[in-house]
Amino acid sequence: MHAVRRKRLLFIVLIVSLLASALGLVLYALQQNINLFYSPAQIAAGEAPLETTIRAGGMVVEGSLARQPDSLTLAFNVTDFQHSLRIEYTGILPDLFREGQGVVALGKLRADGVFEASEVLAKHDEKYMPPEVTDALKSRQMTSESSY
Amino acid sequence: MTRFMFPEIGQFSLILALFFAVALATLPMVGYFRQSRLLLNTARPLTHIMVCLVVIAFLLLAWAFITDDFSVLYVSQNSNVDLPLRYKFSAVWGGHEGSLLLWVLILALWCLAVALRLDSLPQTIGPLVLSVLGWVASGFLAFLLFTSSPFVRILPDVPTSGGDLNPLLQDIGLILHPPILYMGYVGFSVAFAFAVVALITGNLNAYWARWARPWTAAAWASLTLGITLGSWWAYYELGWGGWWFWDPVENASFMPWLAGTALLHSLVVTEKRGVFKSWTVLLAIFTFSLSLLGTFLVRSGVLTSVHAFAADPTRGVFILALLVVLVGGSLLLYALRAGQVRSSVNFGFSGREAWLLLNNILLSVLTLTVLLGTLYPLLFDALGMGRISVGAPYFNAVFGPIALCLMVFMAIGPFSKWHHTKLASWWIPILGAALLSMGLAATIVFWQTFDWLTWCSLSVAFWVMSMTLLDWFNKQFMAGKQRLNQWRTLPSRYYAMVIAHFGMAISLVGVIMVSVNSHETMLKMSPGGQAEVGGYVFVFDSMELIKGPNYLSDRGHFQVYQQGHLVADLHPEKRFFTTRQQVMTEAALGAGFTRDLYLSLGEKLEDGAWGVRIHIKSFVRWIWLGGLLMVLGGMLAAFDKRYRQKRKKA
């Protein structure tokens, strides 16, 4: 082969393999790191996988927050007004966490039906409602309206 | 009561500004195609008038904030009588409408800057660039007026005190962050305008790259500073101690930065060698498109993030339409014109062109991975496959390796020569620098017992530093017939590169160290108690209640000891903002060159105990120090005197 052509071919092979490995990396990482959202109703219906990192959320039930006396471990319930879900968390809650408001938690569902959160998110605007929670609440409303 | 006319005057001057922007968008264009010098020359006065009108509108809104004119809806939502004056001023861009006005104001200021430098451009090019900027300005002024005017009144029931600014935004970082970030975002519109004009006139010679370079460098420097400030603000204000969250809105500003970095480098090749011409034009269009996409993502509320304001669908649709028209239009123009462009110069695969090409490929791949991760949840939702989020692990896994790869090549690029480099002449210094960096990294890793990934990344950081210095030394003293004691003046654009590359390496050291060498705990502490974290003893002395201008605060007193010596007094706060009934954490920092002590309060628990979050952040300041060096580099490149010469008389 001509020297220039061989060089050019080498260069193209280099670029293609670079792009291919980048693409592989992207696909692999996406597969590992997508976190699906489940509403309390979906979890109650058994749709959510166990021991997999997922997100769950809803309105925090008034009066449900309970702390352990000697550590930062706490638990609270979230609801979509249809079913409720117990969430356990160890750590500091965000400033905007309040009973009666929407939250989203990232964590794993245990076999006993308790959601073990590694992160609790309440967004930085008190008027803000996570869209997942809004959807979960809306779908509840629609089903209850149709049942009247 | 003339004061009460001010908001109406503001609204009116915005409407007038829209008319002048439309005139600017059309008249010089018509002038170019009809070859009428008269029409072309309208560009400058039209720009001046438009800029004046926008500035008037902005000042009147600021005046409404400063004088507590709560009859203006936007003011009443985002300000309060008790708000300190500096925050009243920054509250102008604390909400959707005002930040959009700021966007338009900064676009106007860039237009003005171009208009002032018009004499350095050929007689037809300058007015056309202004005219293209006029398209962008018309689009955004229309967006501002039709969907989100900041001057809407609430009459006759004028509130007396106002809803207050979001406490998160009551901070010095937020006075500075948005304007500087927008300077960068919007500044890429100038490079975009140059590219579009090059396409319109079909005059894609190396000159357009030369004119576009300083503007791109200036915009890039501002964007870098804006991102650095934003990261710093998030670090101390959000109370979690993180410096980058891969939040969609951060990504929205990061994508134009990546594309802009690629553009800076490809402009060099186009100017110097006349190759990659059509690619550079395309990149200029993409960079500004990503800025617009960023604006769309942030302003439309389609993505959930810290920065999302309450969503309004009409705004999303409008700005999406604007995006489609501007991006689609310029890409169509590109498709029609780019075929005519021929690169006459061939380039060798060992020359600097090839290294810069590699830089562009890698930066484009990085931009795409961030774009994919940011838009994937939207796509997933649109296809009805459920609600997902793509978290930081994705970005870290993908971005890290590719960025490291880029930095390995970044060190070699400056060493290479245009067209062709003789490998034999530089393999010894390269090998030396490589061994030195790996050895130094190995020493640190062995001493601190880090893993091999840390060793790899640290080696890359040291490699970039040593190669950059080596190249400088080489060019300063060795090249040509220079002797060691002879000092010659290298151009400031060369120093720009050296400083920016070095800054990048410093940031990398910060990023590595903060991720592998930090300590973090959350624990329950009572006054009188103490805790040891990473060799530091934190003593919780007491709590006190203090009163701020618009908040009440629980303030803690902590002392930090290292080997018995007092190293810092920390005063973290938990503020309760009375108007919005909102709680805010104010973290306390013990800043240092090699580590930050970071302490923030959680909730108040029973018996006066508090949840406390303690971090030891290793080398975290280096991240921003590197950022500032990159800014300095960008500014040096922008003000290189080569670009300041006036137009020669024909």
State pLDDT tens for residues A12-71: 888 888 888 888 888 888 877 788 888 888 899 888 888 888 888 888 888 899 988 888
Decide: A119 and A105 in contact? Cβ < 8 Å.
yes
**Weakest mean pLDDT among B221-225, B308-312, B532-536:** B308-312
Say which residue, B404 or B418, is predicted with more confidence.
B404
Kindly indicate the confidence band of residue B313, based on its pLDDT and cuts at 50, 70 and 90. low
How high is the pLDDT of residue B648? Answer: 44
The structure tokens 């650095």 sit at: B228
Q: Which residues of B touch A90 (CB under 8 A)?
A: 522
Decide: A54 and A38 in contact? Cβ < 8 Å.
yes
Between chains, do B387 and A36 touch, taking CB under 8 Å as contact?
A: yes
Q: Give which of B89, B116, B115 is closest to B102, Cα–Cα.
A: B89
Say which residue, A118 or B314, is predicted with more confidence.
A118
Average pLDDT score over residue span B542-562: 92
Kindly indicate the confidence band of residue B3, based on its pLDDT and cuts at 50, 70 and 90. low
Report the alpha-carbon distance of residue B265 to residue B209 in Å, rounded: 11
Q: Is the pLDDT of residue B618 over 60?
A: yes
Between chains, do B306 and A11 touch, taking CB under 8 Å as contact?
A: no
Instruction: Count CB neighbours of B35 within 10 A.
Output: 9
Q: Is the pLDDT of residue B114 over 90?
A: yes
Quote the minimal CA–CA distance from B318 to chain A in Å: 21
For A12-72, list the strands marked E by DSSP. 34-38, 53-60, 66-67
Strands B573-577 and B565-570: unpaired
How high is the pLDDT of residue A146? Answer: 36
**Weakest mean pLDDT among A85-89, B389-393, B611-615:** B389-393
How high is the pLDDT of residue B561? Answer: 94
Quote the minimal CA–CA distance from A11 to chain B in Å: 8
Between chains, do B389 and A37 touch, taking CB under 8 Å as contact?
A: yes
How high is the pLDDT of residue B484? Answer: 57
Between chains, do A67 and B605 touch, taking CB under 8 Å as contact?
A: yes
Kindly indicate the confidence band of residue A76, based on its pLDDT and cuts at 50, 70 and 90. very high
Q: Residue B612's beta-bridge partner residues?
A: B523, B601
Nearest CA in chain A to B303: A131
Report the alpha-carbon distance of residue A106 to residue A118 in Å, rounded: 6
Between chains, do A28 and B390 touch, taking CB under 8 Å as contact?
A: no
DSSP single-letter state for residue B167: G
Q: Is the pLDDT of residue B108 over 60?
A: yes
Say which residue, B537 or B306, is predicted with more confidence.
B537
Say which residue, A135 or A94, is predicted with more confidence.
A94
Report the alpha-carbon distance of residue A105 to residue A115 in Å, rounded: 9
Average pLDDT score over residue span B360-374: 91
How high is the pLDDT of residue B650? Answer: 35
Average pLDDT score over residue span B419-427: 70
Q: Is the pLDDT of residue B155 over 90?
A: no
Report the alpha-carbon distance of residue B259 to residue B382 in Å, rounded: 26
What is the residue extent of each domain of chain B? 1-170, 203-341+351-408, 422-517, 519-618
Kindly provide the b/e burial profile for residues B411-449, where b requires at least 16 CB atoms within 10 angstroms of the residue's own CB. bbbbbbeeeebeeeebeebbeebbebbbebbeebbeeee
Average pLDDT score over residue span B603-618: 88
Say which residue, A4 or A50, is predicted with more confidence.
A50
The structure tokens 């640190």 sit at: B444
**Weakest mean pLDDT among A135-144, B72-81, B385-394:** A135-144
Kindly indicate the confidence band of residue B42, based on its pLDDT and cuts at 50, 70 and 90. very high
Contacts of B601 (CB under 8 A, 6+ apart): B554, B556, B572, B573, B574, B585, B610, B611, B612, B613
State yes or no: ipTM above 0.85: no
CB-based burial of residue A135 (10 Å sphere; 0-12 exposed, 13-18 middle, 19+ buried)? middle
Say which residue, B534 or B224, is predicted with more confidence.
B224
Q: Is the pLDDT of residue B311 over 60?
A: no
Kindly indicate the confidence band of residue B286, based on its pLDDT and cuts at 50, 70 and 90. very high
Average pLDDT, chain B: 87
Strands B519-525 and A115-121: unpaired
Contacts of B605 (CB under 8 A, 6+ apart): A67, B524, B611
Report the alpha-carbon distance of residue B119 to residue A99 in Å, rounded: 63
Please tell me which of the candidates A32, A55, A71 has its beta carbon nearest to residue B389.
A55
Average pLDDT, chain A: 80
How high is the pLDDT of residue B64? Answer: 92
Between chains, do A11 and B354 touch, taking CB under 8 Å as contact?
A: yes
How high is the pLDDT of residue B44? Answer: 94
Q: Is B466 on the interface with A (CB under 8 A)?
A: no
How high is the pLDDT of residue B374? Answer: 87
Say whether B560 sits in a helix, a strand or coil. strand
How high is the pLDDT of residue B278? Answer: 85
How high is the pLDDT of residue A147? Answer: 34
How high is the pLDDT of residue B307? Answer: 44
Q: Is the pLDDT of residue B17 over 90?
A: yes
Average pLDDT score over residue span B334-352: 71
User: Rounded to two decimals, what is the model's pTM?
Assistant: 0.90
How high is the pLDDT of residue B646? Answer: 53
Say whether B372 sits in a helix, a strand or coil. helix
Kindly indicate the confidence band of residue A119, based on its pLDDT and cuts at 50, 70 and 90. confident
Tell me the residue length of chain B: 650
Between chains, do B310 and A127 touch, taking CB under 8 Å as contact?
A: yes
Report the alpha-carbon distance of residue B99 to residue B293 in Å, rounded: 16
Say which residue, A7 or B309, is predicted with more confidence.
A7
Instruction: Count CB neighbours of B382 within 10 A.
Output: 9
How high is the pLDDT of residue B130? Answer: 96
Decide: B90 and B177 in contact? Cβ < 8 Å.
no
Q: Which residues of A touch B605 (CB under 8 A)?
A: 67
How high is the pLDDT of residue B1? Answer: 42
Instruction: Give the best residue of B77, B174, B246, B394 to mutate against chain A (max A CB count within 10 A).
Output: B394
How high is the pLDDT of residue A144? Answer: 41
Say which residue, B490 or A4, is predicted with more confidence.
B490
Q: Is the pLDDT of residue B480 over 70?
A: no
Instruction: Count CB neighbours of B460 within 10 A.
Output: 25
Kindly indicate the confidence band of residue B377, based on its pLDDT and cuts at 50, 70 and 90. confident
What whole-number percentage of chain B has pLDDT above 70? 92
**Weakest mean pLDDT among A92-106, B24-38, B101-115:** A92-106
Say which residue, B291 or B378, is predicted with more confidence.
B291
Q: Which residues of A touch B386 (CB under 8 A)?
A: 36-37
